Chains A and B, each alone.
Chain A
Amino acid sequence: MPRYIVERSFPEGFELPHGQAGVDVCRGVVGVNEDLGVTWVHSYVRDDRRATFCVYDAPNPESIRRAAERNGLPVERITRVTVLDPYFYTPSTALEPPVHVPRRV
């Protein structure tokens, strides 16, 4: 299944409640994702809380957007990526040549 980075922007700052309430929100998002075959791996939250970078495994970009809609989350940009792990880079895990190189992104 392809992996994607999803960038989200929160102009008023991203908030997650403390305690059990926050856990429930995360679980709810995971549940909605599951129905669409989308897996939220984890996210990186920018220090000013105005942006997040979320790592997802999903069948296609449309399912990511659909999950986002159901969860009430914004989507700024979706990029497809391959994992590069420095400690596990071997001849068999080496990167494939690029599928398609646009002139300007």
Chain B
Amino acid sequence: MRLLERDAPLATLHRLRAEATSVGGRLVFVEGEAGVGKTSLLGAFRGSVPNGVRTLLGSCDPLSTPRPLGPLVDIADDLDVSFARLVREQAPREEVLGGLLAALRQNRDELVVLLDDLHWADEATLDALRFVGRRIDSTRALVVGTYRDDEVGRDHPLRVVVGDLATSSAVRRLPLEGLSEASVEELARGTDIDPVELHRLTGGNPFYVTEVIAGAPARIPSTVRDAVLSRAARLSPAARRTLEAAAVIGPTVDPALLARVVDAPATEECLARGLLQTDGHAYHFRHEVAREAILQATDPGVRIALHGRVLKALEAYLAGDISLARLAHHAEGAADRDAVLPYAPAAGRDAAAIGAHREAAAQYARAVRFAGSLPPAEWAALLEESAREHGSIDAMDVANNAWAEAAGIWQRLGDARREGVVLAAMARGLILAGRNVEAEAASRRALEVVDPLPDCPEKVEASSMQAYLRMLDRDDEEAIEIGRQAIEMGRDDPGAMASVILAWNTVGSSRILLGEFDGGRADLETSLRLAREHGLDRFVAVAYSNLASALGEMYRFADADPYYEDGLRYTIERDLDGTRFYLEAWQAVRLVHRGRWSEAGPIASSLVSRPGVSSISRTMAHLALGRLRARRGDPDAWAALDAALAVSEPTGTLQRLGPVRAARAEAAWLEGDPERSASEAAAAFDLAVRHAHPWHVGELAWWLTRAGASPADASAAAEPWRLQLAGRWREAAAAWEALDCPYEAARALLEADDIAGLEQAHATFDRLGARPAAALATRRLRELGARSIPRGRRPTTRANPAGLTARELDVLRLVVRGLPNHEIAARLFLSPRTVDHHVSAVLGKLGVGRRRAAAAAAARLRIDLQNGQSAGPD
């Protein structure tokens, strides 16, 4: 059947196929409503690809809990032997992703991979899609994915992936539209159907149109579902039963299976009526929409019975080769508790092992729904597994309720070890949900419960979790004491390794926060080393992250830098987005303090607008933007500061409230509202004093004094603040300079009583672009009777145009010299994946799509590639 109005999209796909082999791999999303012809387009494309081009097709299952890695499992054997083995052996995530990418890269010939119905994709497939999509231009493959865009709403996980990838120049979106009136007319030629009316009702949807035409009804059905059902209405009862059985079985209907579900299946009639099709091996519905319509119209009692028969047939006949996910699906459909309970948790474990946490959580939720009257210990164990998976997908409310219930059961059963571990897990879950007070209660309860026990991993975990909470609350001495106890107890117990690694991390962070910089770094590096040795990637990433943010919180920016760089590289290479965004958010906050505002702005604003960023990372990005905008005098400062406060306030912790209240106090003061500034500062001052945090006490006390208040006890203030509070502005400025804080240094000089000091302040504010503070400096100069007020000239070009970092300039120089990425990686002692990322970032900042244009773009922006300076006029 010739496809109407699809020449243009087909031509686009062929053009991209050519680009993939000549320029670099491409990923295309074909999007449109159900029935618009996405699968048909894939078929036509496949048919028009020259012989000798390897074309692979994988499809996602329309199950409520699809098979993990479903479409990739479909193509694995044909794609690559090593990759197929990794999938079969359920290898760890990094190996599977690495194997997939290697398989796509090593191809010397053309390779086309088609992935159909991605709106049903499981989490592991989406993860792989994102991983490959980000690196597709380093392959020579064309990957084409289709999905129903009308079913992928704002919260759908595929939307986040598509949105994230769509900004890359190697990724395209190809929307498919319904047919025009002319085409509908052509299709309806020879029938009595009014083409205008048909087009109006169907919107030109090809499946709907052809279904109506095939059914030849008296009146055009008003929905596609009605069109399908009106065709099915003419079937004999036997054929109708057969069709319903086929619908329950699924998109592909094995004839032998069908024969076991329905006696004497009337497939001939279904085929003759065009309601089923066959390719010689199995039966299919003409379109998934048709199958769904039949399924929905099937009597619920009949449906349950059919699911039961399918399940029995699968178990008996094709056992061993059927995925657990499918068995669990039919078990639930059959409302068969005795089948759901073994299958669903097993399917959940499988899915969790591959990293398909969304599907795992759904399987456990299914099991929990059916668990009814399980023996208590099994019920509690099931709840724990469910809680863990729901925690992984950030469904914290479900997770916390499950943990709470499990803890109650273990308490009734008198199992202190299990109760302790569950309560500790719940404490962590509550922290992630921002419910810190409840987290504290759970953690303390955990400690009480495990206290009478002899040393065991559960006891270590409870202690480690309590130490962590203390650290988050900035009760650093207690955190260190409890953390060290946990380490002592668990260091020789392999079962307690994760808890011990967390404890080293906690102790190290708290030591840094107390000013023990060398000791704290050593402890955090121990955590990092142990995590690396035991292959615990996420813990490695968290170690880097805490090193950077703890040192940064103590204003040791130069010390934080290498951990930030290494951590960023580590998380990029492994697609550990969560920790990566948190790292970047804190980097933005630090850059604002260091006066590197043109670098801070883009990092923070991209975190705020990007989908899939956690609430806490977005909050720190809002904090950075709020301070930045307030200092520059840019609009929307309070929008950002209000957003940061909204998330921080419920936590009640100094870690969040300290910097947020300080930034708000500063913003208010810069607007000339000292009363507001004082009230913001007062809101967190007592908390800061209670925890004796030198930097928060110092800054909040400062804003209180500017407003004329006298803070109760500012003795804990860090050195630069202490000097400022004592009126020793010159020394304070020098102290800030030593810490690489030019804005703070200039602000200290605002207290100067001599013109030279104020002129220096003005010059700094001017250079940074700090308009409100510059205006204050001007006013003070006038008050002192200065004769000439500097007008201020800012250079129109900057030392780093396009905002390239030093590393990115290194990469750009080598790109312009024509080196390929792997050579650049070798020269700069980086991994190829990191270079891929830098090259994308550089091309993005230069505003070009390909490497060849980089030299011209650099010249246009007057970037001097010899030493990175701009050669522009000043």
Contact = CB atoms under 8 A, between A and B. Distances in A.
Interface string B841-859: 0000001000000000000
A72 B771 contact: no
A77 interface: yes
B597 to A, nearest CB: 8
A35 B844 CA distance: 9
Contacts of A78: 634-635
B601 interface: yes
A74 B796 contact: yes
B635 A79 contact: yes
A102 interface: yes
Interface in B576-618: 598, 601-602, 604-605, 609
A25 B88 CA distance: 58
A64 to B, nearest CB: 9
Contacts of A61: 629, 632, 634-636
A75 B769 contact: yes
A43 interface: no
B794 interface: yes
B601 A65 contact: yes
Interface in A24-42: 28, 31-32, 35
A91 interface: no
Given A62-B605, A69-B802, A102 B673 contact: yes
Contacts of A102: 671-673
Interface residues of A, number: 31
Give the size range of B's interface with the partner: 35 or more
Nearest to A5: B635
B801 interface: yes
A35 B803 CA distance: 15
Contacts of B801: 69-70, 72
A16 B860 CA distance: 17
A37 to B, nearest CB: 10
A29 to B, nearest CB: 12
Interface string A62-105: 11011001101111111110000000000000000001101111
A70 B625 CA distance: 20
Given A60-B605, A104-B671, A104-B672, A73 B634 contact: no
Contacts of A79: 635
B671 A103 contact: yes
A72 B872 contact: yes
A45 B639 CA distance: 31
A72 B634 contact: no
B245 to A, nearest CB: 53
Contacts of B671: 102-105
Interface string B824-850: 000000000000000000000001000
B215 interface: no
A69 B847 contact: no
B159 interface: no
A36 B801 CA distance: 15
B187 to A, nearest CB: 40
Contacts of B601: 62, 65-66
Contact of A77 (B633, B676, B862): B633
B798 interface: yes
B432 interface: no
A19 interface: no
Nearest to A68: B796
B517 interface: no
> Which of A2, A59, A69 has the most chain B CB within a 10 Å cutoff?
A69
B392 interface: no
A17 interface: no
> Which of B605, B673, B771 has the most chain A CB within a 10 Å cutoff?
B605
B803 A80 contact: no
Contact of B797 (A31, A35, A72, A75): A72
Contacts of B793: 11
Given A62-B625, A65-B598, A73-B796, A100 B638 contact: yes
24 contacts: A4-B635, A61-B629, A61-B635, A62-B602, A62-B604, A62-B605, A62-B628, A63-B605, A65-B598, A66-B598, A66-B803, A72-B796, A72-B797, A72-B862, A72-B872, A74-B794, A74-B796, A75-B769, A76-B771, A79-B635, A99-B639, A102-B672, A103-B671, A103-B672
Interface of B: 598, 601-602, 604-605, 609, 625, 628-629, 632-636, 638-639, 671-673, 676, 769, 771, 791, 793-794, 796-798, 801-803, 847, 860-862, 872
Given A59-B605, A69-B801, A72-B801, 15 more contacts: A2-B635, A35-B847, A60-B605, A61-B635, A62-B602, A62-B628, A66-B601, A69-B798, A72-B796, A72-B797, A72-B862, A80-B635, A99-B639, A102-B673, A104-B673
Q: 6 smallest A-B Cβ distances: which pairs?
A: A104-B672, A80-B635, A62-B601, A102-B671, A61-B634, A103-B673
